[in-house]
Structure 1
Amino acid sequence: MQQSIEVRRVSDAEELEHVFAIRRKVFVDEQNCPPELEWEYEDESVHFLGTVNGEPAAASRWRKTDKGYKLERFAVLKEYRGVGLGKALVGAVLKDLPKDATYVYLHAQLAAMPLYAKFGFEKAGEQFEEAGIQHFKMVLDELSVNSYQLTVNS
């Protein structure tokens, strides 16, 4: 059966409830992240909802920090993993970044690093623990940032 995957930027209350429910299920319930660490910077973030055949299935966000633009909270519900939703989510978030986004980074769980590497992210620094899960900081090289901006702005 053909899967219809869509990722869109969301801001209305109903769609944000889907985003938060997905994150709760993946991070708090499945990965045992402390809930108090999961719900921060919500008002200053730009949120995304991924759907499969119209059903809410994934979430993510980006926000501007004092270092640059940080991509965060990539979460795909277990039953929708492996259909290309993660790739669609990362691509949509990158294309949504503002023109002044020259430094783009994320904190990648070890299992997700190969996905981010496909977009040009490179490991930077030592492995660290965040919310009880091992991560590496990954940075998108400026050439890759520019290519996403060209895609959007042409």
Structure 2
Amino acid sequence: MPEPSKIEVHQVSDPNELEKVFAIRREVFVEEQNCPPDLEVEFDDESTHFLVTVDDEPAGACRWRRTDKGYKLERFAVLKKFRGFGVGQEMVRAVLAALPADAKYVYLHAQLDAVTLYERFGFEKTGPEFEEAGIRHYKMVRS
């Protein structure tokens, strides 16, 4: 794939846009990584969702939600053909910018492959490695 010329991240709530978000997550988490489908959609109704387009084509998705601990970033997914072009960085940057002003405690569960991405944005590993949906993760907190 040629270098993308335009990566855009949009907060979405329209049902048609949300279906694109869920389709991307299904492909990445359920089909590629064998996550249980019911676990993958957990908390969707209480989350704020984002759709990433690369040159106007759906390419990635993510969300955040408020929990009893703070704000949790979740479900960062980039379709295979768009990986390696900075889509993940644009998602993290946009989601952090979209958090409410009172978002003091921001955390996530990072798959091992994504730890360095989140470290670039000030997240630090806390605690031991753990398994979630059969995939190795670290809890990371933004300092």
Q: TM-score range by the shorter chain?
A: over 0.9
Decide whether aligned partners of structure 1 residues 47 and 2 sit closer, same or farther in structure 2, where only a CA change above 3 A counts.
closer
Is 2:53 the partner of 1:51? Answer: yes
In structure 2, the partner of 1:10 is 12
Query: Shift of residue 3 of structure 1?
Result: 2.0
State the Cα RMSD in Å: 0.7
Q: 1:137, CA displacement in angstroms?
A: 0.1
In structure 1, C-alpha distance between the alignment counterparts of 2:102 and 2:75, rounded to whole Å: 22
In structure 2, give the amino acid aligned to 1:137. K
Q: Which residue of 1 is the match for residue 124 of structure 2? A: 122
Structure 1 stretches (4+) deviating beyond 3 angstroms? none
When structure 1 is superposed on structure 2, of 2-11 and 86-95 the one drifting more is 2-11
Give the alignment of 1:17-56 within 5 angstroms: 17-56=19-58
Alignment match, 1:111: 113
SS of 1:43 mapped into structure 2? helix
How many equivalent pairs are there?
Answer: 141
Structure 2: state its 5+ residue gaps: none
* Helix, strand or coil at the partner of 1:19: helix
Q: Deviations over 1:36-70 (max 9, x none)?
A: 10011111100000000000000000000000000
Amino acid corresponding to residue 101 of structure 2 in structure 1: K
In structure 1, how many angstroms separate the alpha carbons of the residues matched to 2:13 and 2:87? 20
Aligned to 1:92: 94
The offset of 1:29, in angstroms, is 0.1
Q: Which runs of 5+ in 1 are unaligned?
A: 142-154
